[in-house]
Amino acid sequence: MMEQVERIQVPQGPLFKFGVREKAIIAIGLFATVFIVILIAGSLIPEDSLDVDLYNIFASPSLAHPFGTDWVGTDMLLRTITGLYLSMKIGIFCAVTSAIIAVLLGIAGPIFGGKIDYVISWLVDLVLSVPHTLVIILVSIACGGGLTGIVIGVTVTHWTSLTRVIRAEVMQVKEMEYTKISRKFGKSKLFIAREHVFPHVIPQLVVGTVLIFPHAILHEASITFLGFGLPPHEPAIGVILSESMKYLTSGKWWLAFFPGASLVLVSMMVENIGRNIEKIINQKTAYM
C-alpha cells in the first residue's frame, strides 16, 4: 500500500507588501518628481508669459488654460507654478536655517548647562507662548516687509519645537556611560558634542527639518495673504489667493481653488514624508 503524502498548504500573502520603508520611498520619489518639475518649470517660465492679456480675462478652465485665467488674462497655471516655485524656495531656506538654530541651541543647552541652558529654555518658552502668526507679522513689519522680512519672521518662529526634541535627546545621551567616560578622560565639551551627541540627534534633525518645511510655506502664504508678507507684484500663492477673494462671489472659483489646492497638496506630501521617516526611526514601527 502506497503511503499518501499530505500536502501542506502554506497561506500565501500579497505579492507586494508596502511597509513603512516602501511607503517612505514612494513618498520621497513622488515629491522629488514634483519638486524637480516645479523648480525646472518655474525657472524656465519667461516673464512675458505673465503679461496682461485683456482678451482672455476670466476664462474658465479649458484645454488651452487648464487652471483658467485671472482678471488680467494671465494663465493661472503659469502663475501657480511660479508661486509654488517661490514658496518652495522660501520653505527650504527657512526649514534649513531653523534646523541649524535648533540643533545648535538644542545641543548647547544640556552640554554647557547652567545659565546657558536656562536662557535657551526661557527663549523656547517665550517664542512658544506667542502665536507664530503674530510674531511673523511683527518681525516682517520691523524688517520692512518683503522677502527678507518674511524669511526672518518664519525662521525665528519655527526652531522651538525641534529644539525641545533635540534637547531631550541630548539629555539622555549626556547620561550614557561612554559620555561619562569621555568626560573622565578629559575630553572637552565641544569634543563630546561633536563626537558623541551630534550623531545621535541626526535622525531627529532630519525629521524635524522635513516637518518644518510645510509649516514654513503655509505661514508664508498666510502672512502674504493678510498683506504683511511679500509685495503684490511678487508671483506668490498668498498674493494670488488675496487678489482672488474679490471675484469668488461672482463665480470665479478657479482663481482660488487651484493655487490653494496645489499649496496644500505640496504641504501634505512633505508632511507624509516626515511621518514615514519618523516611523522608520522608531523601533516599534520600523518593521510594520
Residue 254: inside a domain, yes or no? yes
At 130, is the pLDDT very low, low, confident or very high (cuts 50, 70, 90)? confident
Question: Do the beta carbons of residue 135 and residue 123 sit within 8 Å?
Answer: no
With a cut of 60, say whether residue 11 has pLDDT above it: no
With a cut of 80, say whether residue 13 has pLDDT above it: no
Residue 210: inside a domain, yes or no? yes
Residue 3: inside a domain, yes or no? no
- What does the pLDDT read at residue 98? 92
Q: How deeply is 227 buried, as exposed, middle or buried, from its count of CB atoms within 10 A (0-12, 13-18, 19+)? A: middle
pLDDT over 70 for what percent of the chain? 90
Q: In a 3-state reduction of DSSP, which class is residue 168?
A: helix
Q: Which residues contact 203 (CB under 8 A, 6 or more apart)?
A: 281
Residue 69: inside a domain, yes or no? yes
What residues make up the domain containing 116?
A: 20-48+65-281
Predicted model pTM: 0.81
Residue 205: inside a domain, yes or no? yes
How far apart CA 58 and CA 208 sit, in angstroms, is 41
Give the ranges where the chain is alpha helix by DSSP (H): 20-44, 76-112, 114-129, 132-142, 146-155, 160-174, 177-184, 189-192, 198-226, 237-244, 254-281
Residue 59: inside a domain, yes or no? no
Residue 5: inside a domain, yes or no? no
Q: Which residues contact 94 (CB under 8 A, 6 or more apart)?
A: 151, 154, 155, 158, 212, 213, 216, 220
Question: Do the beta carbons of residue 160 and residue 99 sit within 8 Å?
Answer: no
> What is the C-alpha end-to-end distance of the chain, expressed in Å?
49
With a cut of 60, say whether residue 148 has pLDDT above it: yes
> Contacts by 137-144 with C-beta closer than 8 Å and gap 24+?
137/223, 137/226, 137/228, 140/223, 140/228, 140/229, 141/228
With a cut of 50, say whether residue 54 has pLDDT above it: yes
With a cut of 80, say whether residue 138 has pLDDT above it: yes
Cell of 110: 544640556
At 122, is the pLDDT very low, low, confident or very high (cuts 50, 70, 90)? very high
Residue 121: inside a domain, yes or no? yes
Please state the domain count of the chain: 1
The CATH number of residue 116's host domain is: 1.10.3720.10
